[in-house]
Each structure stands twice: as structure tokens, then as C-alpha cells.
Amino acid sequence: MDALRRMIVRHREPLRNVLLVGAVGVPLLFAAAALGVQGSVRRFLLFYIAPFFVAFFPWVWVRVGRIEADRTGALAVDAVATVLGAVRFIGLLPVPFSGHMQFYVYAGLTTRSPRFLLLIAVLAAEATWYKLVVWRDPRSWALGIATGAALAAARLLINRTSPVPSTAP
């Protein structure tokens, strides 16, 4: 993990530029894909999938920018949160929680930027509307919130109790 941290620090600016491109480019790709479909699939791509990436890439951008300040264990929790959400998104395993809500709660509780928190609040409200109104799925919604909160608690505890890593080569 320390070698990965050093590599990220060494290549931080180009990596952050790629993340900014991703924050715009990936949602645009989903929007373009939505043009080829109709009805609920179009709305799903435009209003549920694409907006997620508007938050995900900036969240990673923030993490990359302050990677020296985070404990190795906290970064591991970030990785677990990302992998769990990706597993849900890709459909590799039948996880019982909403990956969107898990990410939004986790990111909201572990990021301090007021603008980012506003974005997360709007996207969480939108995901809540889909989960509770459109799909009538309070179970995965609630489990996503609980999973995100538990992961955030673990990250915050680790960052408060573990020694700060060295980024010296």
C-alpha cells in the first residue's frame, strides 16, 4: 500500500487531470448511451447512473489530493467501499444493499467540502426517490445507508487512532 501511495503522490497531477476528465466524460458516455434507448431505461441511465459518476470522480480527486494525510487503513476502507459499490453496479454478486446509497452516505460522512456535500445531498435525494418511489425498495436503500455509515465510522476511527504513514521514498 505504501508503494501505491508513493506512486500516486509522484503522479498526482496527471492522475487528478484524468479524474476531472472522467467526471465529465463518463456521465456524457452514459448520456450518449441513453440516446439509443427509450423510456425507463433512458431515464435510468440519465438520472440514476450518469449522476453517480459526477460525484465518484471528484471524490477520488479529493482523496488523491490528500493521500499523505490518510492512514493506510483508512485508504483500505476507501478501497472496500469502492469495491462493494462496484460489485453492486456491475452485478458480480447479489449484494443486498444499494451501492448508490452506500457510496453517497460513505462519501458524505468522510468528505468535508461543503460543495461536495451539497452534491452528495442532491444525488442521495435522487437515489432515495428512485429506491423508495420508483422501485419500492426500502430494504436495499436502508441497507445501503447502514453499510455506508458503518464503513464511514470505520474510516474515521482508523484515521483518528492509527499513526500517519510516511511518503518518503
What pLDDT shows up at residue 128?
98
| Gap between the Cα atoms of 100 and 104, Å rounded | 6
- pTM, to two decimals: 0.92
Beta strand segments in the chain, E: none
| Short-list 102, 106, 103, 84, CA closest to 93 | 84
Q: Which three cell numbers stand for residue 141?
A: 436503500
CA 149 from chain centre, in angstroms, equals 13
Low-confidence ranges of the chain (pLDDT < 50): none
What pLDDT shows up at residue 167?
53
